[in-house]
Structure 1
Amino acid sequence: MKLIILDQNGVINQSSDTFIKIPDEWIPIPGSLDAIAQLTHAGYRVIIATNQSGIGRGLIDMATYNAINDKMYKAVHHAGGRIDAIFFCPHTNADKCLCRKPATGMLDEIMQRYGVNLRNVPVVGDSLKDLQVAAAVNALPMLVLTGNGQKTRAADEIPANTQIFEDLAAVADALVGGA
């Protein structure tokens, strides 16, 4: 089984310092929907693993988060792609949970649910936490320069085997080739 694990905000859609709080604020990054379609058609199962502390902070409720995800699912489907699952952490840093990246809880759950080892599975993100969690489970960290990616690259703390791409479309092209 071919898997790819994506962060959500800053990778698929525009990120916001004030959080995505309503479906209208969910805006796809140019090329990201087509990239997911390209990955889907190449046989990848596309999984999202995302920290969503806006829920824990009380900025959005589950019904609104589900509506945002519904908009994303429909947009991806319209582009010809598929998202197989979303794993999310609703907690804040103060909760000290095991699922909030860079903790491995979400990726552990993915391994359990899909019965796979994540060694060399691409994990795509725009933040240091995304790269750190990938390295912690021996996955392949991939940094995109969208969202917070430029700032993350400049931090000089990224895992040694991190691959760097302009955006999710460039990741898809590298993994399956541009057609």
Structure 2
Amino acid sequence: MGGTGTLKAVLFDRDGTLVIDVPYNGDPRLVRPMEGARSAVARVRRAGLATGVVSNQSGVARGLLTLQQVHAVNQRVDELLGPFDVWEICPHGSWDGCACRKPAPGMIHRACEALGIEPSETAVIGDIGADLGAANAAGARAILVPTEVTRKEEIEAAELVANDLWHAVEMLLSLQQPSSGKAQSGAPV
């Protein structure tokens, strides 16, 4: 796992991590926070860390929604859970070969640049392997919070796995140095 520096920011995946995944959502009225998302994000802020969102939005490239709709949904996420210090989205499809679409590290690099920090001072929390792949490629810490769409092999490959978003944040805040081996978070008390 990347990240030997002091943690200064947590970047979250949007769909399936912060909010319930509504595929190709362009309607802010459909935005619903994941259970525990409000308290987890608030915990990060209380710890004095910056917060950000890094989100693949291939629906734009597919013609299923516009950038304006993506921004409207992001604004609703900000209203419910934010404000976040930085937002990075990738509007490309997997066929575009861009440097920003996760698992590429481009959005993480841009978020870190906007925050004035190094990727090693950042953690990424997501629900699929592409989120962790982007974190690892950037040199950031990574924690997987599995959902029903997370594949078994993604869970097995993840270095850190948390049962939910709250525990992912608690794991990050308790880590002084990257650990070797997989850590499992317990259930909420």
- Shared fold per TM-score greater than 0.5: yes
Runs of 4+ off more than 6 Å: none
Distance 1:176 1:156, change over 3 A: closer
Query: Which residue matches 1:8?
Result: 14
SS state at 1:58 partner: coil
- Structure 1: tracts of 5 or more residues without a match: none
Tell me the C-alpha RMSD between the 2 structures.
2.1
Query: Which residue matches 2:146?
Result: 145
Report the TM-score when normalising by structure 2: 0.80
The CA distance in 2 between the partners of 1:104 and 1:176, in whole Å, is 23
Distance 1:54 1:173, change over 3 A: same
Distance 1:74 1:157, change over 3 A: closer
The within-5 A match list for 1:161-172 is: 162-172=159-169
Q: Single out whichever of 57-66 and 105-114 deviates more from structure 2.
A: 105-114
SS state at 2:101 partner: coil
The CA distance in 2 between the partners of 1:43 and 1:159, in whole Å, is 30
Distance 1:158 1:122, change over 3 A: farther
Alignment deviations for residues 114-168 of structure 1 (CA, whole Å, 9 cap, x no partner)? 332212622111111111111112211100023633x2xx1158656x2101121
The CA distance in 1 between the partners of 2:79 and 2:88, in whole Å, is 18
The CA distance in 2 between the partners of 1:117 and 1:159, in whole Å, is 25
Alignment deviations for residues 4-45 of structure 1 (CA, whole Å, 9 cap, x no partner)? 1111001001113x3223112221111111211111111110
Letter in 2 for 1:75: L
Report the TM-score when normalising by structure 1: 0.84
- Structure 2: tracts of 5 or more residues without a match: 1-6, 175-187
Q: Kindly, what percent of the aligned residue pairs are identical?
A: 28
Distance 1:96 1:114, change over 3 A: same
Distance 1:176 1:132, change over 3 A: closer
Query: Which residue matches 2:172?
Result: 175
Deviation at 1:107, TM superposition (A): 1.6
The within-5 A match list for 1:39-58 is: 39-58=44-63
The CA distance in 2 between the partners of 1:174 and 1:94, in whole Å, is 35
Letter in 2 for 1:26: V
SS state at 2:68 partner: helix
Deviation at 1:83, TM superposition (A): 1.0
- The partner residue of 1:59 within 58, 61, 64 is 64
Query: Which residue matches 2:181?
Result: none
